[in-house]
Structure 1
């Protein structure tokens, strides 16, 4: 397991990768269903999806129930900004009714064998526009990003 994982940390982004023992189509299908997002959350903030629909393309929005020390219980709209079936999916969180704040979560999938996929997860806050909240970013660290990938692998 350890030999199939890596981390890269830029100034305002973190990327982690690992090999998952599942085909890219299966990984993409799992990530496209917001109900599954609790399974790979390592921030402790994701409580569940309010949306029953599977993500179908760019500009879709799914809503998650969240909890953290700053806002307590709240909801976040996640705007789909990347959607390439079986290759990549990404979203930009926003306060309900507002434009995204400028941070994104992007999952990239690269088939490594028929039943193996290199999954890369990037958390990027380089365009975050809420200056008053910037000190609270990143919301997760490198170890948590890797743990998210591990949880995804376990869930599949």
Structure 2
């Protein structure tokens, strides 16, 4: 059975708490988003926690839209995931690396719902590219301090 997930990882030369702080701050999401779709934070807490809702100003294929997300997995400095009305979710796992720094893994999980739709629409491949760029930007942002 297929997993229906797209994941990429990077080692960031920064403590997990610093990386998590970026991920848990919706106002900073446009700074590290590599997909080019996240434009700004509309509402929600300054710092995300389990069950928090936050709204984002988005743009895809030249069309602006707004999205409300809910944090569905949360473990401070280790794990955060959110989803909107769709069944898929965005997940970030942080693990202190034995060599120093933090391994950050971002996953687009589309195993719920109708995975065939995502595949036919080319979403996994497009999201893989976005994840790769996001991790590059997140790494630079976290390492700057």
Task: Compute the TM-score of the two structures, normalised by the length of structure 2.
Answer: 0.84
Q: Unpaired runs of 5+ in structure 1?
A: 1-9, 94-99
Query: Which has the larger displacement, 10-19 or 79-88?
Result: 10-19
Distance change >3 Å, CA 133–CA 140, structure 1 → 2: closer
Counterparts of 1:1-156 in structure 2 under 5 Å? 12-51=4-43, 53-69=45-61, 72-93=63-84, 100-112=85-97, 116-128=101-113, 135-136=120-121, 137-138=123-124, 140-156=126-142
Partner Cα distance (2:57, 2:19) in 1: 23
Change (3 A) 1:86 1:130: same
C-alpha separation in 1, matches of 2:79 and 2:38: 21
User: Does the Cα contact within 8 Å between 1:34 and 1:54 map onto a contact in 2?
Assistant: yes
- RMSD of aligned Cα (Å): 2.5
After TM superposition, the score normalised by the length of structure 1 is: 0.78
8 Å CA contact 2:40–2:58 kept in 1: the answer is yes
- Of Structure 1 and Structure 2, which has the larger fraction of its residues in helix? 2
Contact 2:56 2:67 in 1 (8 A): yes
CA distance in structure 2 between the aligned counterparts of 1:12 and 1:89, rounded to whole angstroms: 19
